[in-house]
Structure 1
């Protein structure tokens, strides 16, 4: 039987073609023209499903390759080459006219469009029908995972396995029942399920029914917002799969961590983008402090194999997929789950492989997909997320969803099927809340810190420069102590001389203000800003895709330039507000951001755009670099939080972890009398920038002196 979507006449003729020599091909243009006519008839009839899209993409790929082959073929006559290209151009024109009828098809004509597995399979069939030997098929997800297995097994993981053999997974856990035989067994259902979301009427539910929140104890007396508590309560009540699609700023991380606690879903694997890996570890320490968390970097030499929460970024997951698959996981969270929308990509296959391993070894694992952007380009972006959650497999709904669809009493031939089917999928665990929907739950204005790791040469260089600065101040401190002793002055014999520390910090600050070269507190902050620029811009781009317009603030021109380069590379339309702009250019750029829906980001100078600008069309601001004062920071946030703003404003402050950047963030908040995570309209205490700079140097010097026993005698405290 021919594969779905294959031209039947060509399928019956494929056997003779397969007996030809590899370099002998039939009329490829005829095969493509026949396929294009079938696609066009289907589109005109309004029946655009998964198969049609896959076939359209397969034809586009093969057409592109055939045109390149004909152009490169110098053996034939020019007349024949011209005729072949003319026929191929005619097919391309027909495809373009067909694609205009559907935006999803038009996107598939892009050379950078991601190729689905079905499209690759149909392309192979078209090639065989044309007498072309297809290239060897790419290995499956299971094959790739098997290849990756045992690439890396951290020593601490081996120690865990040896220390407690009972940690081995239970293979006797009952399996999920197979779908019962139903009226829908012979129907293709994935396409209709996707169309049920495309056809959704205004006002259709976007979230499953959530229980009333219950009062729950959280660490250190922290209080969950009502919308957060509802998800945790659902997990406590037994719900185990969630597509948590809340807008950014509504606390998806805390909801996931506390849902895992409620479900006792440990060991828990959390797969995240690199930019938020450190933040997940910090949040785990805040919300689930009794559950040790470990972060996998590189080959995982420094991870804790006995931890309850394992955090890994997509980029290094392939090195660890082997031992993670055998680790006995009882829960899995995928943050920014739209990263796996392309099922043919290596990272998607790794995630789906691990999800299958978790389900095979645990009866009812907790599976959570977190994303503020469940759909990026097409409704089909849902499929990989649904498959991760276990709602569907490659071809059809799994047992639980199939049973729910069957219980509706409808088939895809019935108009009533589509709203009922959509509700079935939503009830599987889709949760979507917007800021405006839960505005009463959250402060009108708040700051959320996002710590990032500065990896690579830039990060190492910054940390080395910070150590050099600290040692230089120590040498200055010790020289001053020695000089004071020689002059017969009073010397502190035990502990650290706080008065001298204060004076050394003031000397260093004065030298830094007059320095023209060398590392000091100002040059280090500038270098940290440059190192954070791409990470901050990448996070701003994620915010823009999921929550709408974003304001991006930076202090230095090179940071703004790097951010704009990142936005351009990601295809995001942006504008900027800078100090060197004329008044006309500045206003034109403001108007573009406010009025043009396609302009996603405005890149602003903290000094040039911190006052006198109204940007309340956005409710998210990214602070890529720290100010020296809380007042400057507040002025930037107030470009959004002002009269006309209808949503709570969230400022995402990008902090370079384990550097002076983090210390300065704490000092700014301390000087302003603010908590690091909330800004609720309180009056800001204005402190001179030199206060924060001086305090940072004092803290840096005390930390370095505290490492030396001669400055901190045994038994004393700093």
Structure 2
């Protein structure tokens, strides 16, 4: 039997040793190995305790609390060293040294390792289960349906440059360090052509800085490290660059939280191109689509057929996800890039990330390798030719600025909001649709259906009990509005049962994780972020995510004393290390000055545009030097998206009212009522 206390003692002792070593600045390979083993044991012990039935709930809660404390120490320690942070990833490679240390630590706790962990390194590797690979049926159908759809691998890639004067020089280290030694404050951005006047599909309009990248692709450039700050429209630039060079089929690899948004953006910017999203094993994949969107987490299952699909372009969003070259997702991305480059002449390759180039420059090896600028040992192709043309070697004083320019010219594009302020609105709202967790999504959609059925029964009963002889063709819109009003009155009067308010709260809880994940990405790439939520449990869930990611935050809530509230505000405004302000939409939506942040995450929808605007105006106010972007997290395929549309439509009405119209400014009850009207109308239409 496993003794939880002994295991906990071993883990606690090890984490204190790691914390002390990192604090002294001695992050040796042995320390990193011990760090990873502690993380593995915490993960395993956490799962074991949750599943255990022999202990009391109080004992399990106490052990989980201790494990969460150790996990917090790990996260805070990892922030000091990016190599440690990478080891916390689910797909981080576990070394033989880590397996050996794990066996020893379990042995110290009096636990015998499972047989599969005791095998010698060579046998363990041989016995490792193969990766689970799938080929969706629609992809097989594509391959069989039409021989003209078969990928064309006949075009050979251009020959690699042969090093001459620089043969024998170690060049990768100097290339990377050139961004630290030779920058001199200069922008890391290639020369871009004037914006193209070509029309945008769908009648939409690009901002000038976006159109420059599309024009560069159209002019023949094929590799881009697009490092614009968040909010500058990297998604549209990538989609239209692919359109400009006909880079189809196009593979797009993204974090799970933005997968749905990529499909939505593809529909907006390239409506004549079909897009498909890979979920799980790909049962719903359209094998004939022009654009294939997949998230990092399931890439391993599909890398086989992806490699043979004939992609002519590949986009990697949030490219800092592949910085750790030892992770599986990095290896799969690099494998696919290599296959595309070896089979397609001049494919379009784009790495998108808002991370400033000056930070952790060593981690950009994987991104440059994805783009085909380098391999494991040396620069390749056009980059090597450019370095040769400088006439310099790393021993020459002018090599570093010249080398930096050579890399930038290969396709680094970096613009900040402040650089293109004239291009973008001073304040804008960007909707980010997310797919809810499978279980939570099913539960919420089922609750919506129950609510709709209840209103349908109410509608049918009222229709049957009519005393007049009036006959209405189709749906009686006035009766629909009365039924929705009665449902809203009942929901306001009682807290029992499922209603529009409880549903929105559940949607908020389900969105908390994805919203916090996105806020964490923004904090790493763009600086300080303000995170707004309506409910305390959503704020709690978000703060748990920030704790696990080692992101420092301030919490601004309604139950704080004035002194505590001000200390939290001051910490966010004045401390560079505090990256996120987690704010209550009702308690912190007014009276705060948070101009240090230009990115806002609205994790939950308010019922009025006025409340939403008040929250955004905590950052968009006098003293703000950059355009402000509010990222509104929307739960796809739920009533959440309908309510977002209603808020926006009522916003226009409110503006007209303030400008002197006779229209009344809408209240929150208007949006609630209209949401129920829409839900009932859809249900009645579906039944006819």
Which band: TM-score by shorter chain? 0.7 to 0.9
Distance 1:65 1:256, change over 3 A: closer
CA displacement at 1:119 relative to structure 2? 13
Task: Give the equivalent residue in structure 2 for 1:26.
Answer: none
Task: Find the aligned partners of 1:317 and 1:238 in 2 and give their Cα distance.
Answer: 29
How big is the shift at 1:222?
1.6
Q: Which residue of structure 2 aligns with residue 303 of structure 1?
A: 285
Deviation, structure 1 residue 377: 6.4
2:628 aligns with: 649
Q: Which residue in the other structure is 1:3 paired with?
A: none
Matched with 1:135 is: 121
Q: In the alignment, which residue of structure 2 is the partner of 1:97?
A: none
1:515 equivalent to 2:494? Answer yes
Determine which of 468, 481, 498 is the counterpart of 1:502.
481
Q: 1:244 aligns with which of 199, 222, 226?
A: 226
Of 397, 414, 423, which aligns to 1:415? 397
The CA deviation at 1:176 is 3.0
The equivalent residue for 1:183 is 165
Does the 8 A contact of 2:312 with 2:347 survive in 1? yes
Q: Is the 8 A contact 2:263 2:277 kept in 1?
A: yes
TM-score, with length taken from structure 2: 0.82
Aligned position for 2:540? 561
Q: Deviations over 1:54-112 (max 9, x none)?
A: x985465689999xxxxxxxxxxxxxxxxxxxxxxxxxxxxxxxxxxxx9998378596
Task: Indicate the larger mover: 329-338 or 104-113.
Answer: 104-113
Query: What is the Cα deviation at residue 121 of structure 1?
Result: 11
1-structure distance, mates of 2:481, 2:34: 73
The TM-score with structure 1 as length reference comes to 0.79
Residues of 2 paired with 1:273 and 1:290: CA distance?
Answer: 25
Q: Tell me if the contact between 1:435 and 1:647 (Cα under 8 Å) persists in the aligned partners.
A: yes
> In 2, distance between residues paired with 1:354 and 1:269?
10
1:364 to 326, 333, 346: 346
Contact 2:92/2:327 (8 A) holds in 1: no
Question: Using the alignment, how far apart are the partners of 1:376 and 1:634 within structure 2?
Answer: 34
Shift, 1:456, TM fit: 1.6
1:157/1:597 CA distance change after superposition, 3 Å: same
Q: Deviations over 1:370-392 (max 9, x none)?
A: 00015596221110000000000
Q: Alignment partner of 2:354: what SS? A: coil
**1:322-341 matches, cutoff 5 A:** 322-341=304-323
Asked if residue 444 in structure 1 is aligned to residue 426 in structure 2, the reply is: yes
Q: Which residue of 2 aligns with 1:39?
A: none
> Which residue of structure 1 aligns with residue 560 of structure 2?
581
Choose from 680, 683, 688 the match for 1:704. 683
Q: Which residue of structure 1 lines up, in the alignment, with residue 206 of structure 2?
A: 224
Instruction: For residue 440 of structure 1, give the secondary structure of its aligned residue in structure 2.
Output: coil
- Residue 546, structure 1, aligned to residue 532, structure 2: no
Report the equivalent of 1:202.
184
Conservation of the 8 A alpha-carbon contact between 1:534 and 1:562: yes
Out of 349, 359, 379, the residue aligned to residue 397 of structure 1 is: 379
**Residue aligned with 2:189, SS:** coil
1:668 aligns with 2:644: no
Residues 653 and 665 in structure 2, CA contact (< 8 A), matched pair in contact too: no
Structure 1: distance between partners of 2:680 and 2:122: 62
Return the alpha-carbon distance in structure 2 between the equivalents of residues 118 and 707 of structure 1. 50
Confirm or deny: 8 A CA contact 1:577 1:603 kept in the other structure.
Answer: yes
Contact 1:444 1:648 in 2 (8 A): yes
Question: Gaps spanning 5+ residues in structure 2: where?
Answer: 1-24, 38-76, 100-118
Partner residue, 1:18: none
In 2, Cα distance between equivalents of 1:491 and 1:105:
70
Per-residue CA deviation, residues 639-679 of structure 1 (Å, 9 max, x unaligned), is 1111101110100000001110000000000011189xx9x
Equivalent-residue separation in structure 2 for 1:650 and 1:111 (angstroms): 28
Does the 8 A contact of 1:58 with 1:120 survive in 2? no
Aligned to 1:81: none
Partner of residue 251 from structure 2, selected from 269, 275, 282: 269
Unmatched runs of 5 consecutive residues or more in structure 1: 1-52, 67-102, 125-132, 710-718
Task: Give me the whole-angstrom Cα distance separating, in 1, the residues matched to 2:476 and 2:84.
Answer: 67
| 1:163–1:702 Cα change, 3 Å | same
Which residue, out of 588, 591, 601, partners 1:622?
Answer: 601
Cα gap change, 1:496/1:390 in structure 2, threshold over 3 Å: closer, same or farther?
Answer: same
What does the per-residue CA deviation read over 1:514-541, in whole Å, with 9 as the maximum and x for residues that have no partner?
A: 1221100000000000000010011001
- The change in CA–CA distance for 1:104 and 1:285 in structure 2 (over 3 A counts) is closer
Distance 2:277 2:36 in 1: 44
Q: How many angstroms does 1:682 deviate by?
A: 9.5
Give 1:139 shift.
Answer: 7.4
DSSP 3-state at the match of 1:368? strand
Match of 1:694 in 2: 673
Q: State how far apart, in whole Å, the 1-side matches of 2:437 and 2:79 are.
A: 40
Q: 1:232 to 1:65 in 2, by over 3 A?
A: closer
Give the match for residue 435 of structure 2.
Answer: 453
Q: Report the Cα distance in structure 2 between the residues aligned to 1:476 and 1:449, rounded to whole angstroms.
A: 34
Alpha-carbon distance between aligned partners in 1 of 2:166 and 2:532, rounded to the nearest angstrom: 54
| Counterpart Cα distance in 2 of 1:319 and 1:590 | 45
Q: Is residue 352 of structure 2 the alignment partner of residue 378 of structure 1? A: no
SS of the residue aligned with 2:686? Answer: coil
Greater Cα shift, 163-172 or 227-236: 163-172
Contact in 2 for aligned 1:167/1:328 (Cα 8 Å): no
Partner of 2:111: none
Of 140, 155, 165, the match for 2:137: 155
Tell me how far 1:175 sits from its aligned partner.
Answer: 2.9
Query: Which residue matches 2:53?
Result: none
Asked whether the equivalents of residues 92 and 328 of structure 2 are also in contact (C-alpha less than 8 Å), the reply is: no
**Structure number with bigger Rg:** 1
Residue number among 506, 514, 535 corresponding to 1:527 in the alignment: 506
Report 1:603-618 matches (<5 A).
603-618=582-597
Whether the 8 Å contact between 2:248 and 2:313 is mirrored in structure 1 is yes
* 8 A Cα contact 2:93 2:328, kept in partner: no
- 1:107 has 2:109 as partner: no
The alignment's C-alpha RMSD in Å is 3.3
Q: SS where residue 585 of structure 1 aligns? A: helix
Contact 1:575/1:599 (8 A) holds in 2: yes
